[in-house]
């Protein structure tokens, strides 16, 4: 049995202490991901024109990542969705991340996957002002995950790749199971969920959650 009050006092004396540090219940801010696409340099040119570069529009919480000014249209066999945000910078391979609700609109069966795990994922058509790109096995629903650096991981007593449970508060409170921990020196502490998950739990960006046993 851990004496939480004593633990809090000890944590307060550690270098780099921040409020509410507690190995059992440190608060983690939420980032709600709307549908978005990461584009390769080649696909940026195909969609927006030769030599085109993305225009950063808004910094994201993950260092170096940004929402670009540019948007595209997604087309599936059953429907289309306009004004889908492009995130930058360019990646090696284009990856479209949509919600299950979007899957029904588009008529696309995207599997729930970690970022980058694309084999046997779904297809779609991207349309930009200068052309279109056929995505083949490049469309997923992102598996909920927590970004963090090594120090956060130590504090929360978790390791890269581990799945944990995350508890939310409020009128639609729930416990998310199967939350993947992703540790990288460049990551900022943030629990990423999609719009379906945010709506189901009654959450918005910058609300807080806790890892539970």
* Cα-based angle 29, 35, 37 (whole degrees, multiple of 5): 105
Q: Are 73 and 122 in contact (CB under 8 A)?
A: no
Interacting positions 109-168 with a copy of itself (CB under 8 A): 112, 143-144
Binding segment for a copy of itself (CB under 8 A), chosen from 40-48, 69-77, 119-127, 191-199, is 191-199
Site string for a copy of itself, 80-99 (x = CB under 8 A): -------------------x
Q: Are 60 and 72 in contact (CB under 8 A)?
A: no
175 binds a copy of itself (CB under 8 A): yes
Q: Are 157 and 148 in contact (CB under 8 A)?
A: no
Binding segment for a copy of itself (CB under 8 A), chosen from 65-73, 153-161, 183-191, 193-201, is 193-201
Identify whether 16 is preceded by a cis peptide bond (ω within 30 of 0). Answer: no
172 binds a copy of itself (CB under 8 A): yes
Q: In whole angstroms, how close is the CB of 32 to a copy of itself at the nearest point? A: 11
> Which CB sits closer to a copy of itself, 41 or 200?
200
Q: Are 66 and 91 in contact (CB under 8 A)?
A: no
206 binds a copy of itself (CB under 8 A): no
Cα–Cα distance measured from residue 156 to residue 193, given in angstroms and rounded to the nearest whole number: 19
Q: In whole angstroms, how close is the CB of 144 to a copy of itself at the nearest point? A: 8
> Which CB sits closer to a copy of itself, 90 or 209?
209
Residue 120, Ramachandran bin (φ over 0: left; ψ between -120 and 50: alpha; else beta): left
Cα–Cα distance measured from residue 54 to residue 44, given in angstroms and rounded to the nearest whole number: 8
Residues that bind a copy of itself (CB under 8 A): 99-101, 112, 143-144, 171-178, 195-197, 199-202
């Amino acid at each position: 049995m851990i004496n939480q009050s004593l633990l809090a006092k000890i944590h307060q004396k550690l270098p780099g202490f921040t409020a509410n540090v507690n190995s059992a219940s440190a608060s983690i801010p939420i980032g709600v991901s709307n549908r978005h696409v990461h584009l390769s340099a080649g696909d940026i040119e195909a969609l927006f024109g030769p030599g085109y570069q993305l225009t950063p529009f808004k910094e994201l919480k993950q260092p170096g990542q940004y929402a670009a000014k540019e948007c595209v249209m997604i087309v599936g066999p059953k429907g289309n969705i306009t004004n889908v945000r492009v995130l930058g910078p360019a990646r090696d391979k284009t990856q479209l991340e949509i919600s299950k609700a979007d899957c029904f609109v588009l008529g696309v069966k995207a599997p729930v996957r970690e970022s980058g795990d694309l084999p046997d994922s779904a297809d779609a058509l991207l349309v930009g002002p200068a052309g279109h790109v056929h995505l083949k096995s490049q469309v997923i629903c992102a598996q909920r995950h927590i970004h963090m650096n090594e120090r956060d991981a130590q504090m929360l007593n978790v390791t890269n790749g581990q799945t944990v449970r995350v508890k939310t508060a409020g009128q639609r409170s729930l416990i998310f199971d199967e939350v993947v921990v992703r540790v990288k020196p460049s990551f900022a502490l943030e629990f990423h969920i999609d719009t379906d998950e945010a709506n189901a739990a009654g959450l918005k960006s910058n609300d807080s959650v806790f890892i539970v046993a």
